[in-house]
Amino acid sequence: MGMGVDPAAFRAAMARFPGAVTIVTTLTPQGRRGITATAVCSVTADPPSLLVCVNRATGTCQGILETGRFAVNLLRDPSGDLAMRFAGAGGTTGDDKFAAGDWGADAAGLPVLADARVAFSCAVAETLTAGTHQVFIGQITAIAQGEGAALIYEQSRFHRLDPI
């Protein structure tokens, strides 16, 4: 702590870091939960696994802690409105968020987008508390691949991929 970089400087710096936009979902006894998340990263191919960082204040985090399962849906361009909805824009919360988007379910009942660029179904292998967030390493149990191009977020705006 107190090492010289304040949270605002950190946020401004990380805003320059382009992120692929996902919706991380889970299924709880109280219904579906999901948030928009860019803090998603490949971990290792053996066993196939990825990590997500989820704010502990969200119902999604509590749901994943309780059920040990989550799905990562990589959004397709254009899905900016859906991303903002799942980031809490407009005040929609809980299962009501899923009223928009073509949502289905995987074999475990986890919410997956029919038109996701790719969707990963995961079982929590390890978890770590890091300040305000929970890091979940998920072992991937299923992959569903779709068409289109991934949606990108940088400097508080959505962007589309443009090959060089």
**Binding of ligand FMN at residue 86 (CB under 6 A)?**
yes
Strands 31-37 and 22-28: antiparallel
Q: Does 113 bind ligand FMN (CB under 6 A)?
A: no
Residue 141 in the binding site for ligand FMN (CB under 6 A): no
User: Using CA atoms, how far apart are residues 69 and 72, in angstroms rounded to an integer?
Assistant: 10
Q: How far apart are CA 139 and CA 124, in angstroms?
A: 6
- Is the CB of residue 24 less than 8 Å from the CB of residue 43? no
List 93, 102, 114, 126, residue binding ligand FMN (CB under 6 A): 93
Q: Minimum Å distance from CB 40 to ligand FMN?
A: 7
Asked if 14 contacts 46 with a C-beta cutoff of 8 angstroms, the reply is no
Q: Does 151 sit near ligand FMN (CB under 6 A)?
A: no
Among 70, 120, 136, 153, binds ligand FMN (CB under 6 A): 153
55 binds ligand FMN (CB under 6 A): yes
Please, where are the H alpha helices in the chain?
Answer: 7-14, 59-67, 80-86
Give the residues lining the site for ligand FMN (CB under 6 A): 21, 35-39, 53-55, 58, 86-88, 93, 153
